[in-house]
Structure 1
Amino acid sequence: MPDQPKILSTHVLHPAAEAMLAGVGELAVASALDAATLTREAGDADIVIVRAPMPPELFSAQRRLKMAVRHGAGLDWIPMEAATEAGVLVANVPGVNARTVAEHVLFGAMAVLRRFRQVDRDLRQHGWLAGREHSVRAGELGGKTIGIVGMGNIGRHLVSIARDGFGMTVIANSRTPESLPAGIAFRTLDALMAESDIVAICCPLTPQTSGMIDARRIALMKPAAVIVNVARGPIIVDDALIAALRDDRIGGAALDVFATQPLPPDHPYFGFDNVVVTPHMAGITEESMMRMGTGAAAETLRVLAGELPVNLRNPEVVERYRARFF
């Protein structure tokens, strides 16, 4: 009797996803996330469910691995070239946490505008009136202009919530201007930075977007404008943003992603009252974890049944994959 398939997940899955995989194969959780451990523990895996960066060498040493499936949408944690060269399918679960991330954009913007860090600190340390005093300098979302950089699933959800829920004016920048929803005006990135009260970074990290929010573009922002990053840390040049915050040249920032993660505890971002820092959690809620987990489990079941994943991201691998297993 052949060995039962092994499914290695970098993290514990939602109970609903575990239930889908029960009896289908052996579900294991990685004991650590370093390259050596992941490569070793994936050595006899048929499927890897990905919530952490994958080392390229994980794929080069495989004989059984059929698929790496992203627990979510972003593919920058999977070395696509190495996976394709090894004949391994790559899939993801796009869109399932897009509204979750879009809601976080406005949560972060509101926390900065309503001066939440200052209010909370002074209320706890100095009393009711000290906390309340900050409210007279707080701001609202309604009537402000939000500029959305990137019009994928997250950007489109953000359009709906910001425009229809909060009465904001929405402008956008996208690689494909024709993809913008009806009524949303396209802006060049420079024009968007200059016109927006809230700049929301929602685009993927690519060679073209890495470092694109630099000192020159930050200098275009309004003095009270807030920048929110829920995409990837390297899109913003940290030194440029830190300098603008130190010089009070912008209103603040809400940052969920960073060039170095975890963010070191002595990082300058922690020292600003007008910066809200969250630990790469914009897409994580009870509801989204269920959707991402069950989506990854569904793709796992398809591949173990001999089918191709619905959300196959390297279709050029199919011929090589089939030569390996069929």
Structure 2
Amino acid sequence: MSGLCLIRQPIHPAGLALLRAAGMRIAEEWRLTPEALAAAMAEAEAAILRDRGLPAAMLASMPRLRVAVVHGAGVDRIALPLARELGVAIAATPGENAISVAEQAFALLLALARRVPEGDRAVREGRWDWRDGPAGRELRGLRLGLVGWGEVARQVARIAGAGFGMQVAAFTRHGDPAELAAAGVAQAPDLDALLAASDVVSLHARPAGAPLIDARALALLPPGALLINTARGALVDEAALLAALDEGRLAGAGLDVCDPEPAEPDGPLVAHPGVLLSPHVGGMTEAARIRTAEAAARRALAILAGRPDGLIAGSAWPPRQVEAAG
């Protein structure tokens, strides 16, 4: 197999090795001049994306592109209608980084519940008596509400129930009630009911229009609730979140994602003491990076060879045909 694969953001070398072993050439976008990038876009038959997506203007400038594979699960930053119209197959690699993202959710949750950042600062500043102030919270017995029921949510539920003794419920429109019951997860009848009965809310959905967690949604949470978001920043109304923190209705927010990204260093989200941030690294452990990069490479190669692998719902199939590069 020959051809060019455009890599939009760095992936683990293990994935690149699979592509090269199959005869593919690699163009890494961040290493290219604007002129070289334009040439690569004109030639590439495959692309591997992370969270930068594939906007319409770029997609329209790639006349030979046959497949784009997401390094992860999120396809919200791809111009999907145009991809279908052009005959570009879209695949994703959901689940490959689920364990790592779930662990990041708990890293944020534990840090908030046990006030880890504040304790670290207190020790460094010589304030050992900080420990005599407001105490942290145990997770055992707290009510965890999952918004969504994908692979990450499943792993979060497993850790929460078996590892921390939390009471877990989920709101999902697509989950199998039998699967939820077998996992020890109660199924909430609607989002409002889930929010009203959750001490901790963890987001695992995809954006679809207006923010799911807005001022009305935040007002439903019990006083002192915690919000964790390792999914997409667009799920949360930032102004409403900051207002809920300022008013004391929300005790803290742990965010691995924001909208837009990167976060503004001087913005109100970064400045707020009730917000704990990480730079969208939930799925970026070494093990997860290897699994996801290799899965993305295998799926790109399979689709170029005419085998559907990991296609998202509604993807173009078969991909468009292009003349052999001459």
Tell me whether the two structures share a fold, i.e. TM-score over 0.5.
Answer: yes
Correspondence 1:16-95 to 2 at 5 A: 16-23=14-21, 24-31=23-30, 41-51=40-50, 52-95=52-95
Secondary structure of the corresponding residue to residue 312 of structure 1: coil
| RMSD over aligned Cα atoms | 2.4
Letter in 1 for 2:251: G
In structure 2, the residue matched to 1:238 is 238
Tell me the amino acid that sits aligned with residue 308 of structure 1: R
In the alignment, the residues of structure 2 paired with residue 68 and residue 300 of structure 1 have an alpha-carbon distance, to the nearest angstrom, of 7
Distance across 1 between alignment mates of 2:38 and 2:80: 16
Contact kept, 8 Å, 1:93 with 1:295, in 2: the verdict is yes
How big is the shift at 1:31? 2.5
Q: Could you say which residue in structure 2 is the equivalent of 1:254?
A: 254
Q: CA deviation at 1:266?
A: 1.4
What does 1:102-113 align with in structure 2 at a 5 Å threshold? Answer: 102-113=102-113
How far is 1:81 from its partner? 0.9
1:81-160 alignment runs, 5 A limit: 81-127=81-127, 129-134=128-133, 137-160=135-158
Q: Return structure 1 stretches of 4+ with deviation > 3 angstroms.
A: 32-41, 130-134, 177-180, 322-326
Q: Is residue 185 from structure 1 mapped to residue 183 from structure 2 by the alignment?
A: no
Contact 1:14 1:290 in 2 (8 A): yes
Instruction: Say if 1:42 and 1:48, in contact at 8 Å, map to a contact too.
Output: no
Say if 1:151 and 1:202, in contact at 8 Å, map to a contact too: yes
Gap runs ≥5 in structure 2: none
Determine helix, strand or coil for the equivalent of 2:9. coil
Count the aligned residue pairs: 318
For 2:245 and 2:207, how far apart are their aligned partners in 1?
23
User: For residues 34 and 318 of structure 1, do their structure 2 counterparts lie closer, same or farther at Cα, with a shift above 3 Å needed?
Assistant: farther
Distance 1:142 1:68 in 2: 43
| 1:16-75 Cα shifts (integer Å, max 9, x gaps) | 112212241111100379999866532211111001122212222333211011111111
Deviation by residue 1:206-265 (Cα, 9 ceiling, x = unmatched): 23xx31211111112122210101111121111111011111122111011111111001
Query: Could you say what secondary structure the match of 1:219 adopts?
Result: helix
Q: Percent identity?
A: 35
Deviation at 1:273, TM superposition (A): 2.9
CA distance in 2, matches of 1:57, 1:216: 36
- Indicate how the Cα distance of structure 1 residues 120 and 303 shifts in structure 2: closer, same or farther if over 3 A, else same: same
Contact 2:66 2:321 in 1 (8 A): no
8 Å contact kept, 1:38–1:58: no
Partner of 2:161: 163
Corresponding residue of 1:312: 311
CA distance in 2, matches of 1:193, 1:144: 13
Q: Is the CA contact 1:123–1:132 (under 8 Å) kept in the aligned structure 2?
A: no
C-alpha offsets along residues 78-115 of structure 1, whole Å, 9 cap, x if unaligned?
21111111111111111111111111111111100111
Between 1:152-161 and 1:177-186, the stretch displaced more is: 177-186
CA contact (8 A) 1:39 1:58 kept: no
* Corresponding residue SS for 1:118: helix
Aligned equivalents of 2:220 and 2:71: distance in 1?
36
Q: Does structure 1 conserve the Cα–Cα contact (< 8 Å) formed by 2:68 and 2:300?
A: no
State how far apart, in whole Å, the 1-side matches of 2:303 and 2:123 are: 54
Distance 1:151 1:16, change over 3 A: same
TM-superposed CA distance for 1:316, in Å, is 5.5
